Chain A
Amino acid sequence: MHLRTILAIARKDAIDILLNKSMLTVLILPIIFALLFLFMGKLIGGHAANILVYNPGQSPVVQVLSTAFDKVHITEANSPADITAAFGPNGSSKDSPYDAGLIVPADFEHELQAGDHPQLGLYLNGNNLNTQNITLIQAALTSYARQVTNPQAPLALSTVVINPPPTTNFGDLLSTFYGAVALLTSFILGTSLMPGLLIEEKERKTLRMLMVTPASFTDVILGKLFVVLGYQLLLSLIALAIVGGFTGLVPLVLLYTLLGSCLSLAIGLLLGATFQTAGTAGAIGGMLSFIYILPAVFSGPLGALFGNNPIIQVMKVFPTYYIADGVYNAMQNQGTFGGHLLDLGIVLGSTLLLLALTTWILRRQSSVAASI
């Protein structure tokens, strides 16, 4: 094993991949998927409520209104007239760009405490709010006013919650979902590139040329693993960056990215060792894409909807399920140390097992090749 020859092979393959149209397509696939998820996120879960506020006294009541939405974008109005103009006189405008408007008197809290019954102007857009939302917003604002008038709560509320919902809001959950799916689908790259690179050397007889140079067969394999791992990590990180996946426990997300990349390469190497033509390996590699996509879909927020469905149990057969599970937990800053250790252990163990199996196949092939 020589570092010089390993790097030489990696360098050659790095150039060759960029000149190969089909490999180049595989290379940009994670970016296309990530952009697609980003677009879907914007379309479905990424909508931030637009609130127009006139709040000259910087009253905290605006925060109360904000909590009614997952994400808010607050615009400060210069005068109450700006808000009435945005929603029309008496709410006559039908196409306001705002979801809510609030006119807060300059000394709102003082007037409340003085018992002056100050008027709070609330404007709501029914296009983005249902009746329940509107009732809850009104109740929240009234409750806030009562709390300012009399800080002593009129009751001692004892609450017991079973199956507590996630602390993250729906928007964050979707963002995590897209992040994990983009990362998992990016792993298709290693499984698709690796067999092609290895089989091409066999098909074009260039491997025979390499065997009469200072390179050994191990150098050839390591050189290819090195370059595909480089591309895999680079593209996975770009995909994560596009969908905003660097959230939660970022070092753990990066560790899952590294181990997922290694697993993807190990599967690709096994395909390259097993199949003799690039076409067959490519077709099988394409079919194996589901082991990345399905666990990503069924182990996250969507998986929670299925409960203990048999599909979830089937997904647990694939080591990629544990990458997805770990990535979701890491991104949401959740999961126990033991849980992460189990996920990482299963992924690492599967990778080593696949590499051992591939080594056995390659050794067997080389001994057969030498005897014919």
Chain B
Amino acid sequence: MRDDDLLIEAIDLRRSFKNNEAVKGISISVPRGEIFGLLGPNGAGKTTTIRMLTGQIEPSGGHATVAGCDVVREHQQLKERIGVVSEEQNLYERLSARNNLRFNCWLYNLPESRVDEVLDLVRLRDRAKDPVRMFSNGMKQRLLIARALLHKPPVLFLDEPSRGLDPIAGREVRGAIEQLSREGMTILLTTHVLEEADQLCQHIAFINQGSIVANDTPRNLKLAHGQRSLLVTVGDRRESSALSELTLNMDNSEDQARLMQLMALGKVQAVHSQEATLEEVFVEIAGVYPA
């Protein structure tokens, strides 16, 4: 095992299913404590990549280490060092939240006192005795995260963590992810909610047809691929009928000068950034909409 600052490192990772190459040489590096987003449409190769990185399937080619473990040769040690929240809410519905977590304590040989710690973390301790089938989707998702954190893994894989959640539950889950990141956990996240990725991830890789088509920080991606423009509201504030809107391109020197002039005259009432969204960036790069 190696223990350096790159908690996830994949080099030219490939996977073929019969004659279909699902992942075509993916390379990513995720340093300790970072949230890394893997985004792409359905069938792009996200889940296959996660299954390779979590040791569920062997790569056809390339090499990957996660938490210092080779995903093929050190498969058993890898299982002890990763937490996985899959896209399915795969909990034992008849068992209580506490018994679901106790089961994982038995599997990992952990003290059962750890159950209360993670239940506190996801704010489910007051519902610990309730059968999971009585939980809302948001509560189940939080319980899945609690289960993945039980053995304190240094790396967490989150596959669509806010899938099927209402906005409030989604915000709760995002809050839990942010807290984990602040505590130094390395997280690889797949999501189709690009605003979520924008909010949470320090780095994002767009994957399409098995290949990474862009890999950078959300800000750099938006700057590189979106329009740098401002929506400016000008006119007399006292007469709303006299207000008008102008779109000024910040890469155009004439538009820059015009903005300065309007501000000097005191006619600028409001300025809105028209930065590109990640979705627009993705569409521009990949030519398709993310799932």
Contacts and interface: CB of A to CB of B under 8 A. Distances in A.
Interface in B55-101: 55-58, 76, 79-80, 82, 84, 86, 88, 90-95, 99
Contacts of A5: 107
Contact of B90 (A8, A12, A20, A208): A208
Contact of B88 (A19, A205, A215): A205
B108 A372 contact: no
Interface string A1-35: 00011011101100110011000000000000000
A364 interface: no
A326 B95 CA distance: 41
B162 interface: no
A371 interface: yes
B117 to A, nearest CB: 19
Interface residues of B, number: 28
A211 interface: yes
Interface string B146-168: 00000000000000000000000
Main secondary structure of the interface of A (DSSP, over half): helix
A20 B94 contact: yes
A214 B107 contact: yes
B54 interface: yes
A212 B56 contact: yes
B18 A208 contact: no
Given A7-B106, A205-B90, A212 B82 contact: yes
A117 interface: no
Contact of A16 (B54, B92, B104): B92
Nearest to B87: A205
A213 B108 contact: yes
A8 B103 contact: yes
A363 to B, nearest CB: 16
A204 B84 CA distance: 16
A155 interface: no
A206 interface: yes
Contacts of B54: 212
B108 A214 contact: yes
B109 interface: yes
A8 B94 contact: no
Given A205-B86, A213-B104, A371-B17, A12 B109 contact: no
B147 to A, nearest CB: 8
Contacts of A20: 94
A17 to B, nearest CB: 10
Interface string B20-52: 000000000000000000000000000000000
Contact of B76 (A11, A210, A214): A214
B271 to A, nearest CB: 49
A12 B103 contact: yes
Contacts of B82: 212
Interface of B: 17-18, 54-58, 76, 79-80, 82, 84, 86, 88, 90-95, 99, 103-104, 106-109, 131
Which 4 A-B pairs give the minimum distances between C-beta atoms?
A8-B106, A205-B88, A205-B90, A19-B94
Given A11-B106, A19-B95, A19-B131, 6 more contacts: A4-B109, A8-B106, A204-B88, A208-B90, A212-B55, A212-B79
5 contacts: A12-B92, A12-B99, A20-B94, A212-B79, A370-B57
